[in-house]
């Protein structure tokens, strides 16, 4: 039985900051951001958008009556959880009015949490072939204003339906994974910004890639030449490029050309959105599928997942007949093009206006309400979400 991703959708905030503009304000050379790091724009979430609203906005695009009837689990991979106890899956379950006869759970291991959810979904479908699983990977990457990590921030969600006989891409049973406890990046529970040992984290990302890639080739008797494309966890696009370079030394010249071109296609959304932690690898897959019209059914795509702390996994998927019918490239292009650019002071104000880590009531600014689902407040220490009417969620109000 084939098991894999039947459908995929994304969501990202309607606001962004231009990174050339940000570089100039920070006194940096813009080439460092656009070439050295490989990022052009960065999604900026208002405080009314969190992993629940973005996850629900992405998932709502996939929950058809047939999925509603077959759904067995709702899994959310995230490291930006909104509660230390209750899972984001339950908030989303309520917003989407999903059936109660499901398991709804949140999974955490830094950026690897989305892959953990995907693999759990795959195993579940193997035992329950008539069931489908809603997998959501959603995060807000925050390092702080004027920090080294600032240029690698971002926000967004990817939702996927995992089921038997998928129409998009299989998840092959060829995974190689590795776990070792290290301190390259973490976030204490009393703050919403991450702590990164920047250079060490990039070295560890590459060391983990090399280790799982070498073992993957050995165990599966496959080399880079067997891949039509390779996608990577993208904390920023240059990081993935360095990992790809490690896979190419023994590849045929045409393989090198093909994998480099398709890598560029896989980075287009990340360049405009930034790091979305758990969803980054799957945003890269979506970007590749949306931007490369030469891919064909039967093509093998490699996926490298890395979560700081650290867990890494390399696996592959095979594109299925008619896979391109499942894609919505034009919708995604419009979604990104219609975002509103913020000035740097406006971005800084939005970054600083956040749900506080204390028991005080808090209300997000309604001027920034966008999309179908919003956080309207935290009152009496309870989070209040709202599903907005279609005409309100489509409105694009201009701000100063």
Indicate which single residue of 6, 40, 50, 79 sits in contact with ligand HMG (rule: CB under 6 A).
79
Q: Give whichever of 124 and 236 is closer to ligand HMG, judged by the CB atom.
A: 236
Would you count residue 31 as binding ligand HMG (CB under 6 A)? yes
- Is residue 270 annotated as a catalytic residue, yes or no? no
Would you count residue 9 as binding ligand HMG (CB under 6 A)? no
Alpha-carbon Rg for the chain in angstroms: 20
Which residues contact residue 250 at a Cβ distance below 8 angstroms, ignoring those fewer than 6 apart? 223, 224
Least Å distance between CB 152 and ligand HMG?
Answer: 4
Would you count residue 144 as binding ligand HMG (CB under 6 A)? no
- How many amino acids of this chain bind ligand HMG (CB under 6 A)? 31
Footprint of ligand HMG on residues 90-109 (CB under 6 A)?
A: none
The beta strands (E) that lie in the chain are given as 3-11, 15-18, 41-43, 71-77, 103-107, 132-141, 154-164, 169-170, 176-179, 185-186, 195-196, 229-232, 300-307, 311-318, 340-342, 373-379, 382-387
Dihedral sign, Cα of residue 124, residue 284, residue 275, residue 213: positive
Q: Tokens 């069931």: give the residue.
A: 131
Indicate which single residue of 72, 81, 149, 371 sits in contact with ligand HMG (rule: CB under 6 A).
149
Least Å distance between CB 390 and ligand HMG?
Answer: 34
Would you count residue 152 as binding ligand HMG (CB under 6 A)? yes
For residue 207, the surrounding DSSP H or E stretch is helix 198-220
Whether omega for the bond prior to residue 246 falls within 30 degrees of 0, making it cis, is no
Q: Which of 41, 106, 109, 111 is labelled catalytic?
A: 111
Would you count residue 29 as binding ligand HMG (CB under 6 A)? yes
Q: Which of 93, 106, 172, 233 is labelled catalytic?
A: 233
Taking a C-beta distance cutoff of 8 angstroms, is the pair 361, 379 a contact?
A: yes
Q: What is the C-alpha to C-alpha distance for residues 33 and 224, in angstroms, rounded to an integer? A: 29
Check the annotation: does 242 bind a ligand: yes
Using the contact rule CB under 6 A, the part of the chain among 26-34, 252-260, 291-299, 358-366 near ligand HMG is: 26-34
Using the contact rule CB under 6 A, the part of the chain among 24-32, 216-224, 292-300, 369-377 near ligand HMG is: 24-32
Annotation: binding site for (3S)-3-hydroxy-3-methylglutaryl-CoA:
29, 143, 242, 275
Give the catalytic positions in this structure: 79, 111, 233
């Amino acid at each position: 039985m084939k098991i894999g991703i039947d459908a995929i959708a994304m969501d990202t905030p309607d606001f962004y900051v231009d990174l050339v503009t940000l570089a100039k304000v920070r006194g940096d050379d813009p080439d460092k951001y656009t070439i050295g790091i490989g990022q052009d724009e960065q999604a900026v979430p208002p405080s009314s958008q969190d992993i629940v609203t973005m996850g629900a906005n992405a998932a709502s695009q996939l929950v058809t009556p047939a999925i509603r009837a077959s759904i067995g689990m709702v899994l959310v991979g995230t490291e930006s959880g909104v509660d230390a106890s209750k899972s984001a899956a339950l908030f989303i379950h309520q917003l989407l009015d999903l059936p109660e006869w499901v398991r709804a759970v949140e999974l955490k291991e830094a950026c690897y949490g989305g892959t953990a959810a995907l693999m759990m979904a795959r195993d579940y479908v193997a035992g329950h072939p008539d069931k489908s699983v809603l997998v959501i990977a959603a995060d807000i990457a925050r390092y702080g204003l004027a920090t080294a990590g600032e240029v690698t921030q971002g926000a967004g969600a990817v939702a996927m339906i995992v089921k038997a006989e998928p129409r998009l891409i299989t998840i092959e049973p060829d995974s190689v994974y590795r776990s070792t406890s290290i301190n390259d990046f973490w976030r204490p529970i009393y703050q919403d910004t991450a702590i990164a040992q920047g250079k060490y984290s990039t070295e560890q990302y590459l060391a983990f890639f090399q280790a799982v890639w070498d073992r993957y080739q050995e165990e599966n008797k496959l080399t880079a030449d067997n891949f039509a494309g390779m996608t990577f966890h993208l904390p920023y696009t240059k990081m993935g490029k360095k990992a790809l370079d490690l896979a190419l030394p023994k590849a045929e010249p045409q393989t090198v050309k093909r994998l480099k071109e398709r890598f560029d296609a896989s980075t287009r959304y990340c360049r405009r959105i930034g790091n979305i932690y758990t969803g980054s690898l799957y945003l890269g897959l979506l970007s590749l599928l949306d931007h490369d019209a030469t891919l064909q059914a039967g093509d093998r795509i490699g996926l490298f997942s890395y979560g700081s702390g650290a867990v890494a996994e390399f696996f592959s998927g095979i594109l299925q007949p008619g896979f391109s019918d499942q894609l919505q490239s034009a919708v995604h292009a419009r979604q990104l093009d219609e975002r509103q650019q913020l000035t740097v002071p406006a971005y800084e104000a939005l970054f600083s206006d956040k749900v506080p880590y204390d028991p005080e009531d808090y209300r997000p600014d309604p001027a920034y309400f966008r999309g179908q689902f919003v956080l309207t407040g935290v009152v009496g220490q309870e989070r209040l979400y709202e599903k907005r009417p279609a005409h309100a969620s489509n409105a694009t109000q201009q701000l100063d």
